[in-house]
Structure 1
Amino acid sequence: MKNKELIESGNLELYVFGLLSESETTEISKIATQDAAVQNEIISIEKSVIALSSSFAPTLSAENYNKIKQKLDIDTKVVPLKPKSNLSQYIGWTAAAVFLLSCGYLFNLQQNNVSEIDNLLNEKNTLEQTVSTKEKLNNQINTSYSVLKDENNVVVKLAGQAISPTSSAKVYWNNKTNKVFIDASSLPTPPDGMVYQVWSLKLAPTLTPTSIGLIDNAEDKMKYLIEVDGTVGAEAFGITLEPAGGSKTPTMEQLYTLGKV
C-alpha cells in the first residue's frame, strides 16, 4: 500500500487507537520512521484525539498531559499507543466527561427547581398577607357598621382640650354588653414612642379614672372604630397621650379629649 493510500485508508486512525494487529502496527511504525508525511499524519491524528478528549475532560492531570505532550513532540520518535491501556484511557475520559456533564445538568436543574419553589413560596406568602390584610379590613368595616347602627349604643362626644383644641373623638358604649368602641379618626397621629390611652371616669364622690385601652397603631387603625375594654358605671370618658405601654394614672397635661356621658 502506497503511503498516500495508507494516509487515506483510515488505518492510521486505528493505529493511533491501538486497534490494529501487532504486525500491522509494526509495519506502520516502520513506515512512519521513514516517511515524514505518514509521521506528521499520525501526530495530527493524536493531537486531534487529545484536543477532543480535553474538551470533555478539562480536569486532565498534569502528569498525563505531559506524557501526551511528549508523545506528540514532532522531533521524537512516533510510539504507537498500546491497544488496551490507551483505548481504556480514552473511554475513561469520555465516560468522565459524560458523567460531569450529567452532574452539571442535574445540578442546574435542581437549582432552577429550588429557585422556582422559592418564588412560588414568596408569591404564596405575599398572597396570604394580602388576603389577611383584606380580611382584617373587611372585619373592621363590618364591625364599625354594626356598632354605628346598634340602637343600644350610647354615643359620647369627646371635645378637644387645651393641648389640642381641634381634636375630638367619639365613644360608643353599649348599655347591654358594656362594650366600648372609640372613633379616634379626628385625633392627630401619636408621635413615635407615644400612645393614646382611653379612660373611663367616675366623677363623684371623687374623680376616679380607669384605663380601658391603648390606641397604639397610628393612622391606619385610627381610621376605623377601635374596640377597647368594656366598662360599667362610667360618667365620662377621656383620652390622654402617654408613653408607649401606657400609664397607671392619666397625665392631665396631655389630656387631648374629654366628654361626659
Structure 2
Amino acid sequence: MDINNYINSGILELYVAGALSDEENKEVYEVMLKHPEVLNEVLQIEAAILKLTEATVPKNTVLDFKPIADRIHTTNTENKVVKMKAERLRTSWLSITGWAAAIILGIGLFWAIQQNNQLQSEINLTKTDNNFLEQQVQIANSDLKETKKILSILRDKDLLSIPLGGQAVYPEAYAKVYWDKSENNIYLDVQGLPEPPEGKVYQVWSLTLDPLTPTSLGTLDNFSSDDNKIFAIKNTNASEAFGITLEPAGGSESPTLEQLYTLGTVASVS
C-alpha cells in the first residue's frame, strides 16, 4: 500500500466526518494501527475540524439594534432586510455545521477508542490462550519423552522382573520391580496400589530372608502427583525380596508388618 496516496485519497476526511460504512471505518482503523503516519494525519484532520468549529461559533451574542434600524429606514428596505436575513442564515448554518462536525468527531473518536479497547482485549486474550496452549504442549512433550524413556528402560532384556503380590491388609494390591543389577537401580511400578490416606506414605523395603533383614529404600512421597506411578530407586543391596508397607509420613526405621501391602521374592521369578 502506498501510504501517501492513501492519505491524499480523501478517505481519512470521510472517516473523521463519519461518512464511511462500518466496514470502511474498520478498514481505516486497521490501517491507522499499522501506520503511525496515517494516525497522525487523522489527528491533524480532527484538530483542524475543532479549530473550524471554534471559529464558526458566534463569540458575541449581544444585539445592536442601531444597524438594524438604519437598514429598515433605507430606500431599498426589502432588499436590505433580505440581505440581513441571508447573512444571519449563513452564520447560523456555519455554526450548525461546526457543531455537527464536532459531534461527528466526538462519536468517531469514541468509536475508535471502543474499537481499540476491544481489539486490545482480544489481543491480550489471544496471547493468554497461546501461552496456555504452549505450556500444555510443553507438558505433553515432556510427558511423552518421560514415557518413552520409561518404556525403553522397562523393555531392556537384562532387567530382572519381580512381581509383588497383594497381602492380607489389601489383597487387591499389586506392584512390580524391574531390577537393573548392572546399574544398581530398581524401577518400581506401583500402579496397583491405592491412594495412601492423609498422613501416610508408602515405604519400599529390600529384604534378605535368612535371617529376615529389611533395608529401607525410601518413601514414595510423590505417589499421588506421579501419573506414571513408576519410581526409579537406587538399590545396592543383595536383595532376595522386595516389600511395600504403609507408614506414617516421613517413613519408619522398620516395616510395619500389619500394613504390608505387597511382597515378592527374587527367587519367585519365572
Q: TM-score by structure 1 length?
A: 0.56
Change (3 A) 1:131 1:18: closer
What residue in structure 2 maps to residue 81 of structure 1? none
Q: 1-side partners of 2:231 and 2:66: how far apart?
A: 99
What residue in structure 2 maps to residue 239 of structure 1? 244
Bigger radius of gyration among the two:
1
What residue in structure 2 maps to residue 256 of structure 1? 261
1:81-230 equivalence runs, <5 A? 94=102, 98=105, 102=109, 104-105=110-111, 107-205=113-211, 207-214=213-220, 216-218=222-224, 221=227, 224=228, 226-230=230-234
Does the CA-based 8 Å contact 2:214-2:254 persist in structure 1?
no
Does the CA-based 8 Å contact 1:159-1:257 persist in structure 2?
yes
Does the CA-based 8 Å contact 1:144-1:225 persist in structure 2?
no
Does the CA-based 8 Å contact 2:204-2:219 persist in structure 1?
yes
Alpha-carbon displacement from aligned partner over 1:151-184 (angstroms, at most 9, x marks no partner): 2211111111110112111100101111211121
What residue in structure 2 maps to residue 69 of structure 1? none
> What CA RMSD, in Å, does the superposition of the two structures yield over aligned residues?
4.4
Gaps of 5+ in 2: 1-55, 73-83
Does the CA-based 8 Å contact 1:200-1:238 persist in structure 2?
yes
Does the CA-based 8 Å contact 1:196-1:240 persist in structure 2?
yes
Does the CA-based 8 Å contact 1:195-1:216 persist in structure 2?
no
In the alignment, residue 264 of structure 2 is paired with which amino acid? G
In the alignment, residue 27 of structure 1 is paired with which amino acid? I
Name the SS of the counterpart of 1:162 in structure 2. Answer: coil
1:59-74 equivalence runs, <5 A? none
Name the SS of the counterpart of 1:129 in structure 2. Answer: helix
Q: 1-side partners of 2:255 and 2:207: how far apart?
A: 11
Q: Percent identity?
A: 35
What residue in structure 2 maps to residue 79 of structure 1? none
CA drift at 1:213: 4.0
Q: 2-side partners of 1:26 and 1:248: how far apart?
A: 115
Does the CA-based 8 Å contact 2:173-2:192 persist in structure 1?
yes
In the alignment, residue 239 of structure 1 is paired with which amino acid? I
Change (3 A) 1:206 1:16: closer
Change (3 A) 1:23 1:129: closer
CA drift at 1:110: 4.2
Change (3 A) 1:110 1:162: same
Alpha-carbon displacement from aligned partner over 1:210-253 (angstroms, at most 9, x marks no partner): 133416343862xx461332111223211122345544543332
In the alignment, residue 67 of structure 2 is paired with which amino acid? T
Q: 2-side partners of 1:176 and 1:228: how far apart?
A: 14
CA drift at 1:28: 7.9
Change (3 A) 1:18 1:153: closer
Q: 2-side partners of 1:240 and 1:30: how far apart?
A: 116
Q: 1-side partners of 2:70 and 2:210: how far apart?
A: 124
CA drift at 1:105: 4.7
Gaps of 5+ in 1: 1-14, 32-37, 57-90
Does the CA-based 8 Å contact 1:237-1:258 persist in structure 2?
yes
Q: 2-side partners of 1:140 and 1:260: how far apart?
A: 28
